[in-house]
């Protein structure tokens, strides 16, 4: 099977590695253009481009997927299949090139959580399980015929970043199985149902702002689901305080949403919510390193009765 791989972020790296170790031939790689990254904002290649170049593979990083200068080299390679992991929406001009079309790896159990941020939203919504789906790409986003699915449980304290790292390995295995089915002619795509469909739109930085009027369980899931990106945060004494981890705790006293109920150099900070209380396990003051909330109390004037979010 002659394959052109399309992908960009770290999530796609295990999939490309697995294909390179298989009997299939990777004839080219397509990724997003280089862009500024890190503190210095120096222009850098994507994780997939770095891997492809290290393996001596031809790489394309087109700004527009419909450009002739991009399409013609792809046609000349005569690929059997496009393997797509965390890339862009493919126009019909691209999809028609490969003999067997394109298959995609999506980190959810489709039709649930169609969109750009399925891992984050599964945790934010309090799901106890999610998974990975491979499907045949169609013109409608994440709506193509299903190939394979694998269910993955979500840990009660697991963050989006931790789940991401597990799902990318599951996705790589599932992609290899799907390609094998396509190559042998044994693939049996089934129509993706519309029942139970939900969306997972991209999260903005502002989406990380904690709404203390929500219940403790909902806020806990929001903090987990936005870790590491876009990152949960709240305002405290005029500065941004990032909240990386928290957990629900019983508390004998009550307060207004966002009110600090406990500020202890050993126990840490407990905050009232719209229903219940949260212990802030790990925080990060503006411009400082991560620390336990107990360490934050020891180094700052944190008082019971102070309000967060104002």
Q: How far apart (Å, rounded) are the C-alpha atoms in residues 40 and 56?
A: 28
Q: Model confidence over 114-150: pLDDT tens digits?
A: 999 999 999 999 999 999 999 999 988 899 999 999 9
Average pLDDT, the chain: 96
Model pLDDT, residue 252: 84
Taking alpha carbons only, the member of 84, 113, 58, 57 closest to residue 175 is 84
Cα 307 to Cα 252, 266, 292: the distances in Å are: 18, 20, 19
Q: What is the pTM of this model?
A: 0.95
205-299 CATH fold: 3.10.25
| pLDDT score for 37 | 74
Domain with CATH 3.10.25.10 in the chain: 205-299
CATH 3.40.50.170 domain residues, the chain: 2-184
What is the CATH code for 2-184?
Answer: 3.40.50.170
User: Which residues does residue 190 pair with via DSSP β-bridges, in sequence order?
Assistant: 146
- Confidence at 35, pLDDT banded by 50, 70, 90: confident
Indicate left, alpha or beta for 55 from its phi (over 0: left) and psi (-120 to 50: alpha). Answer: alpha
Residues 85-114 have pLDDT tens digits of 999 999 999 999 999 999 999 999 999 999
Each residue's pLDDT tens digit, 199-246: 999 999 999 999 999 999 999 999 999 999 999 999 999 999 999 999
Q: Residue 175: left (phi > 0), alpha (psi -120 to 50), or beta?
A: alpha
Give the Cα separation of 170 and 150 in Å (integer): 8
pLDDT higher than threshold 80 for residue 55: yes
Q: What is the pLDDT of residue 253?
A: 85
């Amino acid at each position: 099977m002659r394959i052109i791989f399309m992908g960009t972020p770290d999530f796609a790296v295990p999939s490309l590695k697995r294909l390179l170790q298989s009997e299939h031939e990777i004839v080219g790689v397509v990724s997003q253009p280089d862009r500024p990254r890190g503190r210095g904002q120096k222009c850098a290649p994507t994780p997939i481009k770095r891997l492809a170049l290290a393996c001596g593979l031809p790489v394309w990083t087109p700004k527009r997927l419909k450009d002739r200068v991009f399409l013609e080299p792809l046609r000349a390679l005569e690929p059997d299949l496009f393997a797509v992991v965390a890339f862009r929406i493919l126009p019909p001009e691209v999809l028609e090139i490969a003999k067997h079309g394109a298959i995609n790896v999506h980190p959810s159990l489709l039709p649930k959580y169609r969109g750009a941020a399925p891992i984050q939203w599964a945790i934010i919504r309090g799901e106890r399980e999610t998974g990975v789906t491979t499907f045949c790409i169609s013109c409608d986003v994440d709506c193509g015929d299903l190939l394979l699915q694998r269910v993955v449980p979500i840990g009660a304290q697991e963050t989006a970043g931790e789940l991401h790292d597990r799902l990318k390995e599951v996705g790589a295995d599932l992609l290899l199985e799907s390609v094998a089915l396509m190559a042998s002619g044994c693939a049996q795509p089934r129509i993706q149902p519309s029942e139970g469909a939900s969306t997972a739109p991209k999260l903005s930085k502002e989406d990380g702002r904690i709404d203390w009027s929500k219940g403790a369980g909902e806020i806990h899931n929001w903090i987990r689901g936005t870790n590491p990106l876009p990152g949960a945060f709240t305002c405290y004494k005029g500065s941004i305080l990032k909240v990386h981890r928290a957990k629900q705790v019983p508390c004998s006293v009550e307060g207004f949403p966002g009110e600090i109920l406990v500020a202890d150099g050993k126990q840490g900070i407990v905050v009232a919510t719209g229903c219940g209380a949260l212990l802030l396990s790990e925080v990060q003051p503006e411009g400082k390193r991560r620390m336990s909330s107990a360490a934050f109390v020891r180094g700052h004037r944190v008082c019971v009765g102070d309000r967060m979010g104002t």
